[in-house]
Structure 1
Amino acid sequence: MAVAAGTSGILRRSLHKIMAEGSVSCSKNFPTKEFEEIKFNVPWGHIAGKWYGPRNTRPIVGFHGWQDNAGTFDTIAPLLPSHIGFLAIDLPGHGLSSWLPEGCSYHSVDYVTFVLTLMREFGWDKISMLCHSMSSINGFVFSSLFPEKCDLYIALDILKPVLQPKDILVKGVAEKLETLLKISERKLNKSEPPSYEFEQLVDRVHEGSGKSINKDFCQFILKRNIQPSAKDPTKFCFTRDERLKSLLFYALPQDIVCDLAARITCPHLFIKALQGPYYEPKSNYDEVINVLTKKPTFEYHQIDGTHHVHLNEPKKVADIINPFINKYRPQ
């Protein structure tokens, strides 16, 4: 979806207002919903998030994809059931949350541990999760490792840990470790990261997502992901941790993934975007789907849309999610 003439200037001004006032900016085509910015301490800093709706019950927790942030749920959050809260989290290294300490690297399993940290912070013995992309992988692992701690799990577009050929896996790990070292060396210089005009940022997010995020919706990711450049206040720098580019994902064989799928006991909804990627042979998905469909509380839906269909076309996704939430987390 192209940005209409004159829109980018409006978006830039809106972004400055958002960053200055912490207000919400939604497209006129989408409803808004009041939320509270939250922040809580963790051993390495703090975690930020957006809490929509009631605070007197345990919310559905939204976990975003790789290099995205809580803004990925900005358009769908107002459409979710009003009787239950929704807490969209910025994962460590993303959005407005703290980076991991210097000298550390990111691994998917860190985010599984983080779910336990979040539950401990709020005193929850169970968690309900709405996950997208990378977080769908982590939600799959969490709900299988701790089936007694998860009472509802919704996954958007990605089903399971991705199985990679051995040669690609080994080469990829080696390249990521070398990249991580280069990033650490640049950090020692404490130089400002590259800065861009707002239109360039929109293009980078759009292209970086494989054109999955429509250009008109890139603002929802950008407003928690950039800050004005100290060198040129008309430009912006990305604020996410650059080490995320070298994030290490699981390297689990297919038989173990199937065993993990069998361990999931909570109500489980998986929505696959038909124009979204698989990142591996579809037959791997089908095998795991066959394991999951034996469970009476598993639902599988396919919808037209890209990897970020929940952001671009939220009503289409909410129409599937809401009956599932109302069934298993009723008022």
Structure 2
Amino acid sequence: MKVSRGLRMLKLLPNVRNSSSGPTKPFKIINKHFDEISIPVPWGHISGKWYGPKHVRPIVGMHGWQDNAGTFDTLAPLLPSHLSFLSIDAPGHGLSSWLPPGTSYHSIDLVLVTRRLMEEYNWDKISIMAHSMSSINGFVFSALFPDKVDLFVGLDVLKPPVRSARSIVDSLSERIESTLKLERRLKSGSEPPSYDWDQLVTRLHEGSNKSVSIESCKYLLQRNCKPSTHEPHKYYFSRDNRLKSSLFYTLHQEVPMEMARRIKCPHLFIKALQAPYYERKEYFDEVLAELQKNPLFEFHEVEGTHHVHLNEPEKVAPIINSFINRYRPL
């Protein structure tokens, strides 16, 4: 593991304008200090932001699809100070290495990355806090390795969504074709489209269905954009474009039901009320009912968008801290 202590505060990026409805309520930032780390993997490295002491096994923070470790920038300083927190960039995201040419991204990748982290640090157990895509993977990991997880916090997406057979087949064919198209673009070596700063912020805000507030875009963009080499004062999105054709779990509802039965660790799930369910709600409700048979499972709902943990961390921090202090106290 390599550690860089040179940059501990947010990088200076152009100011983000307030939306027409005005700025969001400011949140209190206690401390933003972290160490930038690099963890070796067979194809390169996994980058991350380590808050707190290195001798304490951290809670590992994992972000959503096409986001990065910055998704926890506002929440991490509000977490219990007696623990460490390690927010990682998934492969192809943020500052982590892209997968090799000729390969494709799949949901299961992050499950394997989680095991690699445990081997790298020689952890017998892992504590997970995960959002969206990674919340799905945390659910899967906790089911596949129930004895290796001592605490799991899932944010907004409960489980692998169930799709109809038609949509699964259509999606697979579309994503295979999209993968080849994106590979041709990468092979050409051409720089992705560039935008001035306000345009970049707008594209991220609207691309998230306005889930990431205008004011919060900077936390993701600091690890997700680079200055254009051709157009001064413009920027481009620097994540691996092949992520757009990622392959996701295609499971029958009985599979997440069986997974739910196998999760035995303390498990907190927080649902954002202004976010979609990403599947028919009856599938969500059925798995939720199964999870609630676990006496260590907690379910909470909060007002906010899919990225409420980033936009308004004060809404989720008390719930998460109470849970953490119960199961990983001093």
Any residues of structure 2 matched to 1:1-331 within 5 Å, and which?
A: 14-15=12-13, 29-31=27-29, 32-331=31-330
Q: Give 3-state SS (helix, strand or coil) of 2:61's partner.
A: strand
**Aligned residues with identical type, % of pairs:** 59
User: What do the CA deviations read for 1:130-168 (whole angstroms, capped 9, x no partner)?
Assistant: 000000000000000000111100000000000001111
CA shift at 1:54, angstroms?
1.9
SS at structure 1 position matched to 2:12? helix
What is the identity, as a one-letter code, of the residue corresponding to 1:51? W
| Counterpart Cα distance in 1 of 2:120 and 2:231 | 39
* 8 Å CA contact 2:274, 2:306 repeated in 1: yes
Aligned to 2:3: none
Which amino acid letter does the alignment assign opposite residue 222 of structure 2?
K
Corresponding residue SS for 1:105: coil
| Distance in structure 1 (CA, Å) of the matches to 2:261 and 2:50 | 32
> Normalising by structure 1, what TM-score?
0.92
Inter-partner Cα distance in structure 1 for 2:288 and 2:40: 38
Q: Distance in 2 between matches of 1:15 and 1:233?
A: 15
For these two proteins, the number of residue pairs brought into alignment is 310
Q: Secondary structure at the match of 1:148?
A: coil
Q: Tell me the distance in 1 between the aligned counterparts of 2:215 and 2:109.
A: 32
Q: How far does the alpha carbon of each residue in 1:104-138 deviate from its partner, in whole angstroms, 9 at most, with x for none?
A: 00000111111001111111111000000000000
What's the secondary structure of 1:253's corresponding residue?
A: coil
Q: CA RMSD in A?
A: 1.3
The amino acid of 1:299's aligned partner reads E
CA–CA separation in structure 1 for the residues paired with 2:55 and 2:44: 26
Query: TM (normalized to structure 2)?
Result: 0.92
More divergent stretch after superposition (29-38 vs 216-225):
29-38
Q: Distance in 2 between matches of 1:50 and 1:88?
A: 5
Q: Secondary structure at the match of 2:37?
A: strand
Q: CA deviation at 1:16?
A: 6.6
**Inter-partner Cα distance in structure 2 for 1:285 and 1:242:** 30
Whether contact under 8 Å (2:27, 2:314) holds in the other structure is no
The answer to which of 62-71 and 47-56 deviates more is 47-56
Residues of 2 paired with 1:125 and 1:312: CA distance?
Answer: 33
User: What is the rounded CA distance, in whole Å, between the counterparts of 1:233 and 1:81 in structure 2?
Assistant: 42
Which whole-Å deviations, capped at 9, do the CAs of 1:45-90 have from their partners, x for residues lacking one? 1111000112211000000000000000000000000000000000
Which 5+ residue runs of structure 1 have no aligned equivalent? 1-12, 18-26
How far does residue 233 in structure 1 lie from its aligned partner after superposition?
2.7
